[in-house]
Amino acid sequence: MVRSTTESATRDRLLAAAIDVFAAKGYHGAVVDDIVAASRTSKGAFYHYFPSKQGIFITLMDTLAGMVEARVEEAIAAQRGALAKVEAALRVVLETAAEQRELAKILLVEAVGLGPELEQKRLEIHRRFAAVIQRHLDRAVAEGSIPAQDTALAARAWLGALVEVITQWLVAEGEDLRTRLPALRSLLLRSIGAAEAGRRPAAGPRRQRRPQ
């Protein structure tokens, strides 16, 4: 048990260091020695957990995708109605990107154009998120919340818009990313023919008030 805990801690240190190194130097500028030095481990430890620089990079891509997926599923479960679930997913993706800026930069900026294997992983992640969006758009059509349409195309368009907004924020380092949610939400809802009159954005989990 102690050994297992120690090994897990070492792996986590390597991953945390890799986030900082890739964010600071980019994929091509980073080398394994940088990650080893930043994590205060050893090359032996690195290669025990990861086959290469590309291997740890792919692990980071999966880490961010898994984190977002878990948060999205939690937010979706708290909503009623397919359209509210899609809106909740949109909110959570923006919030997670804002909170995990360096990981988001790795996935959406650094991961572009790095070769067939990394591109395949990037597209796989995009397909996973598009499938989540499409699933709930299909349900929204079935519920009558939106008109019948090509939900696969709509889901890809939603994802493309979301990725573009986050990417521009990552590059420009402007205002808080979350301030862009209302305009983006309005635009995307109009794109699928959803009626916005009298509707409020999907809310996050309610916080309990502290006793006065």
CATH dotted code for 1-50: 1.10.10
Closest-CA residue to 42 (of 52, 32, 51, 28): 32
* Token pair belonging to 43: 């090359």
Q: For residues 111 and 28, what is the distance between their CA atoms, to the nearest angstrom?
A: 11
Q: Give the pLDDT confidence score for residue 160 in this predicted structure.
A: 93
Per-residue pLDDT of the chain (212 residues; tens, 9 = 90+): 445 567 788 999 999 999 889 888 888 889 999 999 999 999 999 999 999 999 999 898 888 888 888 888 899 888 888 888 888 888 898 988 888 888 788 778 877 767 788 888 888 988 998 998 999 899 999 999 899 999 999 999 999 999 999 998 988 866 788 888 899 999 999 999 986 533 444 445 444 444 44
Domain range annotation of the chain: 1-50, 53-191
Please give the CATH topology (third level) of the domain spanning 53-191: Tetracycline Repressor; domain 2 (1.10.357)
Give the contacts of 148 (CB within 8 A, at least 6 positions apart): 141
- Where on the phi/psi map is residue 113: left (φ > 0), alpha (ψ -120 to 50), or beta? left
Q: Give the pLDDT confidence score for residue 5 in this predicted structure.
A: 66
Q: Give the pLDDT confidence score for residue 79 in this predicted structure.
A: 86
**Element (H or E) spanning 42, and its range?**
none
Q: Which amino acid is residue 189, in one-letter code?
A: L
Q: Give the pLDDT confidence score for residue 119 in this predicted structure.
A: 84
Q: Which amino acid is residue 186, in one-letter code?
A: S
